[in-house]
Chain A
Amino acid sequence: MSMPLSATVRVTLGLIAVALACLVFGDFEISAHEPWRELGRLFLGLVQPDFSSVDFLGEAILRTVAFAFVGVGLGAAAGLLLALLFQHLWVRTFCAFIRAIHELFWALIFLQSFGLHPITGVLAIAIPYAGIFAKVYAEILDETDPEPARILPRRTGHLSVLLYARISQAWPHLVSYTAYRLECGLRSSAVIGFVGMPTLGFHLAGAFAQGHYATVGALLILFYVLIGTLRLWVRPRLLPLYLLAAPFCLGTGLPIVWSNVSRFFSHDIVPAPLRRGEGLEGLLPWFGDLFVQQALPGIWNTLLLTQMALVVTGVLAMALFPLISRHFTGRLGGTAGHVVLVVMRSTPEYLLAFILLQLWGPSMLPAVVALALHNGAIIGHLVGRRSNEIALRQDAPHGLDRYAYEVAPRVYGPFLALLFYRWEIIMRETAILGILGIATLGFYVDSAIQEIRFDRAMVLILITALLNIGIDILARRLRSYLRLRHTINRQSC
């Protein structure tokens, strides 16, 4: 009799089969002339970085930090207020919606209205972060012990109850989560540079365009140092100082043209047939056309890429976690493994995809590799940490046997839970990578904006948001089907 397959194995095989099918439809051609020589030049730039243009590097870092602080600060404040109202369905729906739209899409929207004013970058970070903060803060507050609120004198005001009995209990968790989001905020801040904000991405794109690989290397190294030393320079006592100073370090950008702002929201984003007064009769064919011509191919490519990236991410994570697992590495090897994973996960997918795309030309390959490297390192890190909690018996086998029989079976459940948790994040990123020229939803959004058809761009962004919400629901269903009730580490952005 053959061995029956467990539910976990069936789901895994199903995902792999879908990814293989996607492979047939995907486009993986390397179109650059000399891709490996370019990669070599980049590595040379990393080994021999050029720190000579100090003003320019200093400004890139200062702006990146400033946008991160202001954006995350506003997002956290708004998120806390929303978290207090999270029992209302409309608040939960609103938060799910604003966080389903990527910061780069928000940036593109506000660029068309506020232009290159700093408020564009600040809102692009603050809005989606507020949605995420609201959800996680609400969860953290829900987990507090209700007893202290019960013993308070009966006529204690709502705010005092909240402060003393709920927020004070949750405080350490709120702080550690917010600190972690700050790290994510630095990445987001770097990435919004690619659409024109004066942060790291902007300077990086410029240096690439001019072939200054030594400057690219210097920028990347500074970015890693910035994130790697976060714990050293972000101190609770210094935080108020940073938050006060940051708004003054955003740069001036270009002034807001208020007529543009009002035109954008009252005219530009209204679907063209409604603007022309054709009513519903005009709207339906317009929407049908948009849906068939752009949304469908965009959704198709986004799904293809997401499913492939998801499986490669999983494979990579399961291959990488032994790097930091004490069951497989010694002290020295473990430290080296940590450094590798930190560098990999500190690099935003978008930045990685941008670099690989410069080197290999536009196809799905750089996107899959970028998504898998970044997400695989994050999941690998979390799975590795989980594996360190396992106590093996003294006579446990070694090497591959240990991996296959002792460790992998024990971490596979948590691994799948984490992978499903990141599914939505991978999809969000996949859609956004379209801006770089891969034909996912972001590509059609970006094209519509180039053609100054903001109404179409908005509809496509809404479709992307709905797709993200759909994947999130599917992942949650799968998790409960597989009974993966592992506590998810929220610290993964």
Chain B
Amino acid sequence: MTPLALTDAEAAYGETRVLGPLSLALAPGERIALVGKSGAGKSTLLALMYEQWQQREVALMPQALGLVDTLSVFHNVYMGRLDRHPWWRNLITLMRPRRSDIADIEALLEGLDIADKCWIPCGELSGGQRQRVAAARVLYQRGQVLLADEPVSALDGPQAASVMQALADGYPTAVLAMHDLDLALRYCTRVIGIQAGEIAIDQPSQRLSVHDLQPLY
């Protein structure tokens, strides 16, 4: 896979520029953590990447998650691979899922500790459970790159760590907006600090400590 790049990317709301211009490249096997104050431009940067990298198979996990509340957990996860099947197969799955699909998805849910919710509509889940369903969906999708916005913000310590581990295993190449600096350093290979729409820090995570990132906040 060739590197993914942004060149002189910028974003504006009306007249005011909120981001950039900035350039960065994402090498295969590199996981970038985007850190910075809320409103610094992390989500905007992720949206820009998603637009720029049209040609790649990008898996997206937005902050609002994009779950369909009326569909079951199974179907929400299945939606990660809608593009691999013809429409009639998807239609049948909506009414009568295949056994092999159920087995695959249940195994995934097992790993995220929500297998018991497989047939519950997403609207009935708690915030943390919803976040794990969205994680299961991108894992099931098996794209080339993951773009995730605060993927574990609603999860507590050990659960957040296990979901981060699962995402890291599933997506060697990823960009994740993070607010938990410990997790960011532990599960990402590179950290980019955003301040007022510009790159303030860009370092491999081995060279950084939480203390180094404090000035961003």
Q: How far is the CB of A173 from chain B (nearest CB, A)?
A: 9
Among B11-19, B74-82, B106-114, B205-213, the stretch that binds chain A is B74-82
Which of B54, B67, B68, B86 counts the most A-chain CB atoms under 10 A from its CB? B68
Beta-carbon nearest neighbor of B79 in chain A? A164
Query: Which of A145, A148, A163, A171 lies in contact with B90, CB distance below 8 A?
Result: A163
In the complex, the answer to whether B60 meets A172 with C-beta atoms within 8 Å is: no
B60-102 interface mask toward A, CB cutoff 8 Å, 1 = contact, 0 = none?
A: 1110111111110001000111111111001100100000000
A209 CB–B CB distance under 8 Å: no
Decide yes or no whether A395 CB sits under 8 A from chain B. no
Chain A's interface size range is 20 to 34
- A150→B60 contact, CB < 8 A: yes
Are A169 and B83 within 8 A (Cβ)? Answer: no
Interface membership of A155, Cβ < 8 A: yes
Cβ of A147 under 8 Å from chain B: yes
Q: With A164-B75, A164-B94, A168-B75 given, is the CB distance from A153 to B70 under 8 Å?
A: no
Q: B94's closest neighbor in chain A, by CB?
A: A163
Interface flags for A191-216 (1: CB within 8 Å of B; 0: not) read 00000000000000000000000000
Q: Check B141–A153 contact: CB distance below 8 A.
A: yes
Inter-chain contact B57/A153, CB cutoff 8 Å: yes
Encode A156-174 as 1/0 by CB contact (under 8 A) with B: 1101110111001101100
Contact status B90-A164, CB under 8 Å: yes
Q: Given the interface contacts A163-B91, A171-B70, A172-B70, does A150 sit within 8 Å of B62 by beta carbon?
A: yes
Given A147-B62, A150-B62, residue A155 in contact with residue B83 (CB < 8 A):
yes
Q: A residues within 8 A CB of B59? A: 153
Rounded to whole Å, the gap between the CB of B167 and the closest CB of chain A is 15
Residues of chain B within 8 A (CB-CB) of A154 are 54, 57-58, 83
Whether, in the assembled complex, B143 has its beta carbon less than 8 Å from a beta carbon of chain A, the answer is: yes
Chain B residues within an 8 Å CB radius of A340? none
Tell me the smallest distance from the CB of A394 to a CB of chain B, in Å: 35
Q: Hey, which chain A residues are within 8 Å of B137, CB to CB?
A: 151
Nearest CB in chain A to that of B91: its residue: A163
Give the interface SS of chain A, mostly helix, strand, loop or mixed: helix
Q: Is the CB of B82 within 8 A of A160?
A: yes
Is the Cβ of A169 less than 8 Å from the Cβ of B69?
yes
Complex-state Cα separation, A155 to B58, whole angstroms: 11
- Contact mask for chain B residues 158-173; partner A; CB cutoff 8 A; 1 contact, 0 none: 0000000000000000
| Closest Cβ–Cβ distance, residue B28 to chain A (whole Å) | 19
Q: Which single residue of chain A is at the shortest CB-CB distance from B89?
A: A160
Give every chain A residue within 8 A of B79 (Cβ-Cβ).
148, 151-152, 164-165
Interchain CB contact under 8 A, A169 and B82: no
Q: Which residues of chain A are within 8 angstroms of B64 by Cβ–Cβ distance?
A: 147
Within 8 A of B (CB), among A48-97: none
A163 vs B85: C-alpha distance when bound (angstroms): 13
Range, interface on chain B: 20 to 34
Are A157's CB and B68's CB within 8 A?
no
Cα(A422)–Cα(B39), bound, Å? 47
Is A168 in contact with B68, judged by CB distance below 8 angstroms? yes
Nearest-neighbour CB distance to chain A for B24, whole angstroms, equals 22
Q: Smallest CB-CB separation from A161: which chain B residue?
A: B82
Q: Determine which of B65, B68, B141 lies in contact with A164 in the assembled complex, contact meaning CB atoms within 8 Å.
A: B68
Q: A169-B68, A169-B69 are in contact. Are A151 and B83 (CB under 8 A)?
A: no
Beta-carbon contacts under 8 Å, A17-63 to B: none
Instruction: Note all chain B residues with C-beta closer than 8 A to A159.
Output: 87, 90-91
Of listed A150, A161, A164, residue having the most chain B CB within 10 A: A164
A452 to B186, CA, bound (A): 86
A155 to B80, CA, bound (A): 11
Q: A157-B83, A161-B82 are in contact. Are A168 and B66 (CB under 8 A)?
A: no
Question: Which of A145, A147, A150, A153 is in CB contact (< 8 Å) with B82?
Answer: A153
| Whole-angstrom CA separation of A150 from B141 in the bound complex | 14
Q: How far is the CA of A176 from the CA of B72 in the complex (A)?
A: 19
B90 and A168 within 8 A (CB): no
Q: How far is the CB of A356 from chain B (nearest CB, A)?
A: 45
User: B72's closest neighbor in chain A, by CB?
Assistant: A168
Chain B nearest CB, measured from A51 CB (Å): 42
B70 contact set on A, CB distance < 8 A:
168-169, 171-172
- Interface contact A148-B86, CB-CB below 8 Å: no
A152 & B82 in contact (Cβ 8 Å cutoff): yes
CA distance A227 to B49 in the complex (A): 56
Q: Is the CB of A148 within 8 A of B58?
A: no
Task: Give Cα distance in the complex from A157 to B57, angstroms.
Answer: 15
- In addition to A150-B62, A164-B68, 4 A-B residue pairs with Cβ atoms within 8 Å of each other are A151-B60, A151-B79, A153-B81, A159-B90
Please, could you name 12 A-B residue pairs with CB atoms under 8 Å apart, sorted by A? A147-B64, A147-B65, A150-B66, A151-B65, A151-B79, A153-B143, A157-B90, A163-B87, A165-B79, A168-B71, A169-B71, A171-B70
Residues of B within 8 A of A (CB): 54, 57-62, 64-71, 75, 79-87, 90-91, 94, 137, 141, 143
Task: Across the A-B interface, give the 3 residue pairs with the lowest CB-CB distance, nearest first.
Answer: A159-B87, A147-B66, A151-B66
